[in-house]
């Protein structure tokens, strides 16, 4: 459950800051970490597979949430900081 929450918030951060290609190495790294954790806990094949797939999906869903919130958050931060807007 904790890995699911961390992956979701990590995906939101990545969606706000980076392009889509960053998902490939991050997803592979998360899959390796989750599979090693499942193997060390002595879980079976199906449970270890679900331990890999569920955080990967949470990471990518969080990325999509971050991508859709990118413009409103940048506008809100510009309004709070009093910076110049991009409009003419």
As a whole number of angstroms, the distance between CA 42 and CA 64 comes to 33
For position 67, what pLDDT does the model report? 92
As a whole number of angstroms, the distance between CA 52 and CA 47 comes to 9
Residue, of 82 and 66, whose pLDDT is higher: 66
For position 26, what pLDDT does the model report? 92
Confidence grade of residue 85 (pLDDT, cut at 50, 70, 90) = low
What are the pLDDT digits (tens) for 42-80?
A: 888 888 888 889 989 999 999 999 999 888 888 888 888
Residue 26 CB partners (closer than 8 Å, separation 6+): 10, 14, 59
As a whole number, the mean pLDDT across the chain is 86
pTM summary value? 0.76
* Count of H-run helices and E-run strands, the chain: 4, 0
For position 84, what pLDDT does the model report? 63
């Amino acid at each position: 459950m904790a890995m699911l929450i961390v992956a979701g918030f990590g995906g939101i951060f990545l969606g706000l800051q980076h392009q889509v290609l960053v998902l490939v190495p991050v997803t592979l790294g998360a899959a390796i970490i989750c599979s090693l954790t499942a193997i060390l806990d002595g879980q079976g094949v199906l449970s270890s597979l679900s331990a890999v797939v569920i955080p990967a999906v949470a990471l990518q869903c969080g990325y999509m949430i971050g991508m859709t919130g990118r413009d409103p958050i940048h506008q809100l931060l510009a309004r709070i900081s009093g910076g110049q807007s991009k409009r003419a």
